[in-house]
Amino acid sequence: MEDVAVTESTQDVCCAGACGDLLPSAEADRVARICKALADPTRVRLVQYLAFSESGTVCACHLPDALGISQPTLSFHMRKLHDAGLVTRDKRGRWVHYSVRADTLRLARDFLTLPDQPGTHCC
Amino acid sequence: MEDVAVTESTQDVCCAGACGDLLPSAEADRVARICKALADPTRVRLVQYLAFSESGTVCACHLPDALGISQPTLSFHMRKLHDAGLVTRDKRGRWVHYSVRADTLRLARDFLTLPDQPGTHCC
Protein backbone atom coordinates (compact mmCIF):
# COMPACT_ATOMS: atom_id res chain seq x y z
CA MET A 1 0.00 0.00 0.00
CA GLU A 2 2.84 2.42 -0.70
CA ASP A 3 0.41 4.40 -2.86
CA VAL A 4 -1.01 5.87 0.35
CA ALA A 5 2.02 8.15 0.46
CA VAL A 6 0.71 10.11 -2.48
CA THR A 7 -2.60 11.05 -0.81
CA GLU A 8 -1.01 13.88 1.17
CA SER A 9 -1.30 17.60 0.57
CA THR A 10 -0.72 18.72 -2.98
CA GLN A 11 1.56 21.44 -1.59
CA ASP A 12 3.84 18.73 -0.29
CA VAL A 13 5.05 17.65 -3.71
CA CYS A 14 8.51 16.27 -4.37
CA CYS A 15 9.23 18.65 -7.24
CA ALA A 16 7.53 21.11 -9.56
CA GLY A 17 5.75 20.79 -12.86
CA ALA A 18 4.21 18.06 -14.89
CA CYS A 19 5.99 15.93 -17.41
CA GLY A 20 4.47 16.03 -20.87
CA ASP A 21 1.43 16.10 -23.08
CA LEU A 22 -1.52 13.86 -22.50
CA LEU A 23 -2.85 11.56 -25.20
CA PRO A 24 -6.03 13.10 -26.69
CA SER A 25 -9.15 11.56 -25.24
CA ALA A 26 -10.47 10.22 -28.56
CA GLU A 27 -7.18 8.47 -29.28
CA ALA A 28 -7.04 6.94 -25.78
CA ASP A 29 -10.60 5.71 -26.24
CA ARG A 30 -9.71 4.09 -29.55
CA VAL A 31 -6.62 2.32 -28.19
CA ALA A 32 -8.58 1.14 -25.13
CA ARG A 33 -11.33 -0.23 -27.40
CA ILE A 34 -8.83 -2.22 -29.47
CA CYS A 35 -7.14 -3.53 -26.33
CA LYS A 36 -10.50 -4.53 -24.84
CA ALA A 37 -11.17 -6.67 -27.91
CA LEU A 38 -7.75 -8.29 -27.45
CA ALA A 39 -8.21 -8.86 -23.70
CA ASP A 40 -9.08 -12.50 -24.30
CA PRO A 41 -6.62 -15.27 -25.23
CA THR A 42 -8.90 -16.81 -27.85
CA ARG A 43 -9.26 -13.49 -29.65
CA VAL A 44 -5.52 -12.92 -29.44
CA ARG A 45 -5.00 -16.29 -31.11
CA LEU A 46 -7.65 -15.63 -33.75
CA VAL A 47 -6.01 -12.34 -34.77
CA GLN A 48 -2.57 -13.93 -34.86
CA TYR A 49 -3.88 -16.92 -36.82
CA LEU A 50 -5.53 -14.69 -39.43
CA ALA A 51 -2.55 -12.38 -39.71
CA PHE A 52 -0.08 -15.21 -40.21
CA SER A 53 -2.20 -17.07 -42.72
CA GLU A 54 -0.88 -16.97 -46.25
CA SER A 55 -2.43 -13.64 -47.17
CA GLY A 56 -4.21 -12.38 -44.09
CA THR A 57 -7.61 -13.92 -44.86
CA VAL A 58 -9.05 -17.20 -43.65
CA CYS A 59 -12.29 -18.92 -44.52
CA ALA A 60 -14.38 -19.49 -41.39
CA CYS A 61 -14.69 -23.19 -42.16
CA HIS A 62 -11.12 -23.66 -40.84
CA LEU A 63 -11.31 -21.68 -37.65
CA PRO A 64 -13.23 -23.83 -35.15
CA ASP A 65 -10.96 -26.84 -35.70
CA ALA A 66 -7.82 -24.71 -35.81
CA LEU A 67 -8.67 -22.97 -32.54
CA GLY A 68 -10.45 -25.85 -30.82
CA ILE A 69 -13.66 -23.86 -30.37
CA SER A 70 -17.28 -24.27 -31.42
CA GLN A 71 -18.96 -22.29 -34.20
CA PRO A 72 -21.07 -20.25 -31.72
CA THR A 73 -17.90 -19.40 -29.78
CA LEU A 74 -16.19 -18.38 -33.01
CA SER A 75 -19.11 -16.14 -33.93
CA PHE A 76 -19.08 -14.54 -30.47
CA HIS A 77 -15.38 -13.71 -30.62
CA MET A 78 -15.43 -12.61 -34.25
CA ARG A 79 -18.23 -10.18 -33.48
CA LYS A 80 -16.11 -8.59 -30.74
CA LEU A 81 -13.13 -8.31 -33.08
CA HIS A 82 -15.28 -6.92 -35.88
CA ASP A 83 -16.93 -4.34 -33.61
CA ALA A 84 -13.49 -3.12 -32.53
CA GLY A 85 -12.39 -2.77 -36.15
CA LEU A 86 -9.83 -5.57 -35.92
CA VAL A 87 -11.26 -7.82 -38.63
CA THR A 88 -13.35 -7.49 -41.76
CA ARG A 89 -15.94 -10.04 -42.86
CA ASP A 90 -16.60 -10.94 -46.46
CA LYS A 91 -19.20 -13.47 -47.48
CA ARG A 92 -18.10 -15.47 -50.52
CA GLY A 93 -20.72 -17.95 -51.59
CA ARG A 94 -21.82 -19.76 -48.45
CA TRP A 95 -18.72 -19.01 -46.40
CA VAL A 96 -17.55 -16.01 -44.46
CA HIS A 97 -13.92 -15.01 -44.92
CA TYR A 98 -12.20 -13.04 -42.20
CA SER A 99 -9.24 -10.70 -42.60
CA VAL A 100 -7.25 -8.71 -40.08
CA ARG A 101 -7.37 -4.95 -40.47
CA ALA A 102 -3.81 -3.75 -40.78
CA ASP A 103 -4.75 -0.12 -40.06
CA THR A 104 -6.22 -1.02 -36.68
CA LEU A 105 -3.29 -3.21 -35.70
CA ARG A 106 -0.96 -0.40 -36.73
CA LEU A 107 -2.79 2.12 -34.55
CA ALA A 108 -2.36 -0.06 -31.46
CA ARG A 109 1.25 -0.84 -32.39
CA ASP A 110 2.04 2.85 -32.81
CA PHE A 111 0.67 3.52 -29.35
CA LEU A 112 2.96 0.86 -27.89
CA THR A 113 5.99 2.26 -29.70
CA LEU A 114 7.00 4.48 -26.82
CA PRO A 115 10.33 5.67 -25.45
CA ASP A 116 11.66 2.95 -23.20
CA GLN A 117 14.77 4.16 -21.39
CA PRO A 118 14.56 3.94 -17.60
CA GLY A 119 15.40 6.84 -15.30
CA THR A 120 13.98 9.55 -13.08
CA HIS A 121 12.21 12.55 -14.49
CA CYS A 122 11.41 15.10 -11.89
CA CYS A 123 13.49 14.98 -8.73
CA MET B 1 -25.90 -12.70 -38.98
CA GLU B 2 -23.86 -13.93 -41.92
CA ASP B 3 -21.88 -16.02 -39.45
CA VAL B 4 -24.75 -18.51 -39.45
CA ALA B 5 -23.46 -19.77 -42.79
CA VAL B 6 -20.48 -21.35 -41.10
CA THR B 7 -22.52 -23.53 -38.75
CA GLU B 8 -23.14 -26.13 -41.42
CA SER B 9 -21.60 -29.55 -41.74
CA THR B 10 -17.84 -29.66 -41.41
CA GLN B 11 -17.80 -31.85 -44.52
CA ASP B 12 -19.18 -28.92 -46.44
CA VAL B 13 -16.01 -26.86 -46.24
CA CYS B 14 -14.97 -24.39 -48.92
CA CYS B 15 -11.46 -25.75 -49.22
CA ALA B 16 -9.04 -28.06 -47.45
CA GLY B 17 -6.54 -27.62 -44.70
CA ALA B 18 -5.81 -25.03 -42.07
CA CYS B 19 -3.63 -21.99 -42.48
CA GLY B 20 -0.80 -21.76 -40.02
CA ASP B 21 0.53 -22.22 -36.53
CA LEU B 22 -1.38 -21.18 -33.48
CA LEU B 23 0.09 -18.84 -30.89
CA PRO B 24 1.12 -20.88 -27.82
CA SER B 25 -1.45 -20.69 -25.05
CA ALA B 26 0.89 -19.10 -22.48
CA GLU B 27 1.87 -16.36 -24.91
CA ALA B 28 -1.77 -15.66 -25.83
CA ASP B 29 -2.61 -15.44 -22.13
CA ARG B 30 0.19 -12.95 -21.55
CA VAL B 31 -0.80 -10.70 -24.46
CA ALA B 32 -4.46 -10.84 -23.36
CA ARG B 33 -3.47 -9.88 -19.81
CA ILE B 34 -1.51 -6.85 -21.04
CA CYS B 35 -4.37 -5.83 -23.31
CA LYS B 36 -6.87 -6.19 -20.48
CA ALA B 37 -4.84 -3.72 -18.41
CA LEU B 38 -4.88 -1.31 -21.36
CA ALA B 39 -8.61 -1.74 -21.99
CA ASP B 40 -9.34 1.52 -20.21
CA PRO B 41 -8.70 5.04 -21.60
CA THR B 42 -7.30 6.37 -18.32
CA ARG B 43 -4.75 3.57 -18.12
CA VAL B 44 -3.84 4.09 -21.78
CA ARG B 45 -3.17 7.75 -20.99
CA LEU B 46 -1.19 6.91 -17.85
CA VAL B 47 1.12 4.57 -19.74
CA GLN B 48 1.60 7.09 -22.54
CA TYR B 49 2.22 9.90 -20.05
CA LEU B 50 4.85 7.90 -18.17
CA ALA B 51 6.53 6.71 -21.35
CA PHE B 52 6.78 10.18 -22.83
CA SER B 53 8.04 11.83 -19.66
CA GLU B 54 11.66 12.89 -19.80
CA SER B 55 13.10 9.52 -18.81
CA GLY B 56 10.16 7.16 -18.41
CA THR B 57 9.60 7.75 -14.71
CA VAL B 58 7.13 10.13 -13.05
CA CYS B 59 6.64 10.97 -9.39
CA ALA B 60 3.07 10.19 -8.34
CA CYS B 61 2.60 13.72 -7.02
CA HIS B 62 2.14 14.93 -10.61
CA LEU B 63 -0.25 12.32 -11.90
CA PRO B 64 -3.68 13.23 -10.48
CA ASP B 65 -3.49 16.82 -11.75
CA ALA B 66 -1.98 15.77 -15.05
CA LEU B 67 -4.69 13.18 -15.69
CA GLY B 68 -7.59 14.98 -13.98
CA ILE B 69 -8.24 12.08 -11.61
CA SER B 70 -8.29 11.62 -7.83
CA GLN B 71 -5.57 9.90 -5.83
CA PRO B 72 -7.77 6.84 -5.13
CA THR B 73 -8.51 6.56 -8.84
CA LEU B 74 -4.81 6.82 -9.61
CA SER B 75 -4.03 4.06 -7.11
CA PHE B 76 -6.73 1.83 -8.58
CA HIS B 77 -5.45 2.18 -12.13
CA MET B 78 -1.78 1.92 -11.17
CA ARG B 79 -2.48 -1.32 -9.36
CA LYS B 80 -4.02 -2.77 -12.53
CA LEU B 81 -1.03 -1.65 -14.61
CA HIS B 82 1.42 -2.97 -12.03
CA ASP B 83 -0.33 -6.34 -11.78
CA ALA B 84 -0.10 -6.71 -15.57
CA GLY B 85 3.62 -5.92 -15.50
CA LEU B 86 3.22 -2.61 -17.33
CA VAL B 87 4.70 -0.34 -14.65
CA THR B 88 7.15 -0.58 -11.78
CA ARG B 89 6.77 1.27 -8.48
CA ASP B 90 9.68 2.69 -6.54
CA LYS B 91 9.22 4.51 -3.25
CA ARG B 92 11.74 7.35 -2.88
CA GLY B 93 11.33 9.15 0.41
CA ARG B 94 7.63 9.85 0.81
CA TRP B 95 6.76 9.59 -2.86
CA VAL B 96 6.13 6.71 -5.20
CA HIS B 97 7.74 6.93 -8.61
CA TYR B 98 6.24 5.02 -11.49
CA SER B 99 8.04 3.80 -14.60
CA VAL B 100 6.80 1.99 -17.69
CA ARG B 101 8.21 -1.46 -18.28
CA ALA B 102 9.73 -1.47 -21.72
CA ASP B 103 9.89 -5.27 -21.88
CA THR B 104 6.14 -5.60 -21.40
CA LEU B 105 5.34 -2.92 -23.94
CA ARG B 106 7.69 -4.63 -26.36
CA LEU B 107 5.95 -7.98 -25.93
CA ALA B 108 2.58 -6.49 -26.84
CA ARG B 109 4.11 -4.51 -29.68
CA ASP B 110 5.78 -7.60 -31.09
CA PHE B 111 2.44 -9.39 -31.07
CA LEU B 112 0.89 -6.56 -33.08
CA THR B 113 3.71 -6.56 -35.60
CA LEU B 114 1.95 -8.93 -37.93
CA PRO B 115 1.90 -9.35 -41.70
CA ASP B 116 -0.66 -6.93 -43.06
CA GLN B 117 -1.22 -7.56 -46.75
CA PRO B 118 -4.85 -8.30 -47.64
CA GLY B 119 -5.87 -11.22 -49.83
CA THR B 120 -7.50 -14.61 -49.81
CA HIS B 121 -5.81 -17.61 -48.37
CA CYS B 122 -7.62 -20.76 -49.11
CA CYS B 123 -10.16 -20.67 -51.89
Q: pTM, whole model, 2 decimals?
A: 0.80
CA separation for the pair A109, B57 (Å, rounded): 21
State whether residue B121 is helix, strand or coil.
coil
Q: What is the DSSP letter of B84?
A: T
Say whether A114 and B47 touch across the interface (CB within 8 A): yes
pLDDT at residue A53, as a whole number: 83
Are the CB atoms for A38 and A47 separated by under 8 Å? yes
Nearest-angstrom CA–CA distance, A45 and A53: 12
**pLDDT at B33 > cutoff 90:** yes
Write down the pLDDT at residue A22.
86
CB A107 within 8 A of CB B38: no
Q: Give the C-alpha separation, B112 to B20, whole Å.
A: 17
In chain A, which residue's Cα lies nearest the Cα of B71? A7
Terminal CA-CA length for chain A: 22
Supply the DSSP symbol for A51: H
Those residues with Cβ within 8 angstroms of residue A4's Cβ, 6 or more apart along the chain or in another chain: none
**A59 to B114: CB separation less than 8 angstroms, yes or no:** no
d(CA A33, CA B63): 23
Residues of B in contact with A122 (CB under 8 A): 53-54, 58-59, 62
Taking the Cβ of residue A3 and every Cβ of chain B, the question of whether any pair is shorter than 8 Å is answered with yes
How much is the average pLDDT of B45-69? 86
B122 contacts in A (CB within 8 Å)? 53-54, 58-59, 62
Tell me, what amino acid is at A107? Answer: L
> Which chain B residue shows the shortest CA-CA distance from A45?
B23
Answer yes or no: is pLDDT of B78 > 90.
Answer: yes
Chain A, 59 to 98: residues with Cβ < 8 Å from chain B are: 59-62, 64-67, 71-72, 74-75, 78-79, 89, 91-97
The model's pLDDT over A12-38, given as tens digits with 9 standing for 90+, comes to 445 533 456 788 999 999 999 999 999
- For residue B108, what is the nearest residue in chain A, using CA coordinates? A112
- Helix or strand (DSSP H, E) at B21: none
pLDDT digits (tens, 9 = 90+) for A53-82: 876 788 888 888 888 999 899 999 999 999
